[in-house]
Amino acid sequence: MASVKLRIDRLRKAYGPVVALHETSLEVTEGEFVTLLGPSGSGKTTLLHAVAGLTEPDGGTIWIDGVDATWLAPNKRDLGMVFQNYALFPHLSVFENIAFPLRMRHASTAEVTERVRVALELVRLPDLGARLPRELSGGQQQRIALARCLVYRPSIVLMDEPLGALDKKLREHMQLEIKRIHRELGVTVLYVTHDQEEAMTMSDRICLMRNGRIEQVGTPRELYIEPASVYAADFLGESNLVVGTHCGEGEVELASRADSLRLRGKPRVDVPAGRNVRCLIRPEAIRLLGPAERADNEIAATIVDATLAGGVTRYLLGAADGLELRATVLSAGTDAQHAVGAQVRAGFERDNVRILDESTAG
């Protein structure tokens, strides 16, 4: 079992009357890639900066490798940090930018040369040591910033929205590169982003934050398949959140339905009968049923809109009483051959319906 590399215990931070971070506790194990995910104002950056020593907490403790680091100076915490703006020295060569933290630690010339060489090979830029930062692309500069962070082998690497300045294609490429480097080195990473796809792609675990509190911690699959709240279900991925009343035993009567249509699903936790709930149905769980096909839940609908998005086709389905559902199907399949205005039956299984307490919408 991996040891605990970082332990945050009841950490709190306020700016006057505004609480940026309520009492928050989190553990990160050695070699783990944990992402702090949430919108602006959720507390993720405040938490990261407190770990880095850039923000003084009002309460709680931070333990790094079993040592209380709450009040240690940033340069005493053995951390590496990568920022969105790269923070490279414009007048120094790529080699000297990467070598800088080693020279500050009084490493020998031979050690500097060897470690910089290894770092440049790690980020797949072995021949750019003599260039200046302005001669590099944005993606190359971000790789150099990453190499400079890793060259002195910090205990934990902190990344604060490091890919925010890159275009979509380059951002996606760098996500895979960072994931590769993490896998090769086994380094512990605490990563901040507001991008849910980025978090899902890169993380071993995601710490979803809201209003200065942790909403849910789990693997990407756990947060996507088993969200703990309406907020978590709505924040991660596309979702259909159908309002209704729990009738008990996993049956929900939909709101505003004259024909008392009921859906069958699985409650996320024990939800009392009579409680207002929302049923989470992911768009990819919905099938457009053929004449002989059946499903645990079936709803008659009309195709309101159809969008071809490469490998998948996205449908907007309209049902009675204003109910709308979004369905995502493979473009190569027969489900993608329906035209706008077609009458269909939307079907989905009970196991693909999560019943969530309405009070967790926030």
| pLDDT tens per residue across span 51-77 | 999 999 999 999 999 999 999 999 999
Whole-number pLDDT of residue 248: 87
| Confidence bin at 190 (pLDDT 50/70/90) | very high
Structural domain boundaries enclosing 349: 231-360
Q: Are residues 254 and 326 in the same domain?
A: yes
Final residue of a domain: which of 214, 230, 246?
230
Whole-number pLDDT of residue 320: 81
Whole-number pLDDT of residue 259: 60
Q: Are residues 235 and 225 in the same domain?
A: no
103-117, 303-317, 320-334: least confident range: 320-334
Q: Across-strand partners of 242? A: 279
Token code pair at residue 59: 């309460």
Q: Which of 82, 52, 47 is nearest to 64 (CA)?
A: 52
Token code pair at residue 18: 């505004």
What is the arithmetic mean of pLDDT over 327-332? 91
Final residue of a domain: which of 230, 257, 281?
230
Q: Across-strand partners of 307? A: 314
Helix (H, G, I), strand (E, B) or coil at 359: helix
pLDDT, one tens digit per residue, over 239-286 is 999 999 999 888 888 876 656 678 899 887 788 888 899 999 999 999
Q: Is the pLDDT of residue 299 over 70?
A: yes
Query: How many Cβ atoms from other residues are within 10 Å of residue 170's Cβ?
Result: 16
Q: Which of 230, 30, 226, 172 is nearest to 193 (CA)?
A: 172
Q: Is the pLDDT of residue 1 over 90?
A: no
Q: Are residues 34 and 149 in the same domain?
A: yes
Whole-number pLDDT of residue 257: 60
Token code pair at residue 124: 């797949």
Q: Are residues 20 and 91 in the same domain?
A: yes
Q: What's the total number of domains in the chain?
A: 2
Query: What distance in Å separates the CA atoms of residue 280 and residue 39, rounded to the nearest whole number?
Result: 21
Final residue of a domain: which of 230, 263, 283?
230
What is the arithmetic mean of pLDDT over 224-237? 92
Q: Are residues 187 and 245 in the same domain?
A: no
